[in-house]
Structures are given as C-alpha cells and as structure tokens.
Amino acid sequence: MGIEIERKFLVANEGWRQDAENTPGAHSTLMCQGYLSSNADRIVRVRIDGEQAFLTIKGRAQGGIDNISRGEWEYPIPVADAQDLLKLCEQPLIEKTRYRIPHEGHVWEVDEFFAENAGLIVAEVELESEQQAFARPAWLGEEVSHDKRYANANLLRHPFSQWDK
C-alpha cells in the first residue's frame, strides 16, 4: 500500500499553458477513467493514461486535520482489459488531458477536463507528508483540497457543467 497525500487547486490564469509548453520535462497525456466503485470508502478506478492502464483502489481520506491522506493501491493492467472494464464502469466516463509540469522540485499535474466537465481545470501536487512545503507556481489559484465536488468520483454524478457558478 502507498499513502496518497495530495493538494488540489484551481488555476488563477492561463499561465500554466506556457509552462506546459516551455518547461523542460513537461509533457501531457490523454486520460480516460471510470469507476467500478465511486463509494468514498472504497473507490475502484480504471484509468487509461496514454499507452498504459491501471486499476487503482483508494480508501477513505483520513489522517491529520487536513484529511488529505489516503491509502492507495495501484496495479498496471493491459490496455485492452481497461477498454473492456471501462464499459462496465458507472457512466459517464471522465476524460481529461493531464499536463505534468515540473516546478521547483515537484511535478504539478494540471487536469483539463472534457465533455460534461469541460471548463474545469484543476492543478494537483503530490506530497510526501501533509506538512511538506512546496513552491506555488504563479498561475496557482484557490485551494480546493477539501471541496468534495472536485473529487473525480463525484464529477460523475455532479459534472462541472451542472454546477451553480
């Protein structure tokens, strides 16, 4: 088991697109993911990430006051299996482009969503401890780590296009 500790933010402006193009080591992949279980106690996710695919299980977030840690188990699976499994998943699926942008020792993952969640852009950073410091890119906006609407499993039932904004 790994422990996943991540913080999630909106973006304040479009500056991340330049970083995604110009930062050495930055790259992007198309992701399609679905949920065999979107129950927050035991999330089971199928994801195709470019040429790879994974089956991932996540437990309920718990830990410190920030509640941003949770158990995560991830297994690589054949892409052909993932394509079949995505058909079993709760619908709709979640599609997004993930841009990975190195910034001062961390890699930021900026997800630009499509389809029912078009318009939503979220930036995440994975930390080694809940207290670990990190440098904020200039384009980083409001933190939404604790706003459950932004959990990908919740975007299934309440897609961004249907939010009161």
> Judged by CB under 8 A, which stretch of 18-26, 41-49, 104-112, 136-144 contacts its own copies?
41-49
> Judged by CB under 8 A, which stretch of 14-22, 81-89, 100-108, 129-137 contacts its own copies?
81-89
3-class DSSP assignment, residue 36: strand
Q: Residue 104 region, left (φ>0) first, then alpha (ψ -120 to 50), else beta?
A: left
Catalytic residue status for 99: no
Report which residue type is found at 40: A
- Of the pair 43, 121, the CB lying nearest its own copies is at 43
φ and ψ of 152, to 5 deg: -55, -35
3-class DSSP assignment, residue 7: strand
Contacting residue, 12, 36, 40, 127, with its own copies by CB under 8 A: 36
User: Count residues contacting its own copies (CB under 8 A)?
Assistant: 20
Contacting residue, 26, 48, 89, 123, with its own copies by CB under 8 A: 89
- Contacts to its own copies from residues 92-151, by CB under 8 A: none
Distance CA 123, CA 7 (A): 8
- The residues that bridge with 126 in the sheet, in sequence order, are 6
> Judged by CB under 8 A, which stretch of 5-13, 23-31, 85-93, 117-125 contacts its own copies?
85-93
Tell me which H or E stretch contains 5.
Answer: strand 2-11
- Answer yes or no: are the C-beta atoms of 12 and 137 closer than 8 Å: no
Residues of this chain that bind its own copies (CB under 8 A): 1, 36-37, 39, 41-42, 44, 55, 57, 59, 71, 73, 75, 77, 81, 84-85, 88-90
Q: Which residues are catalytic?
A: 35
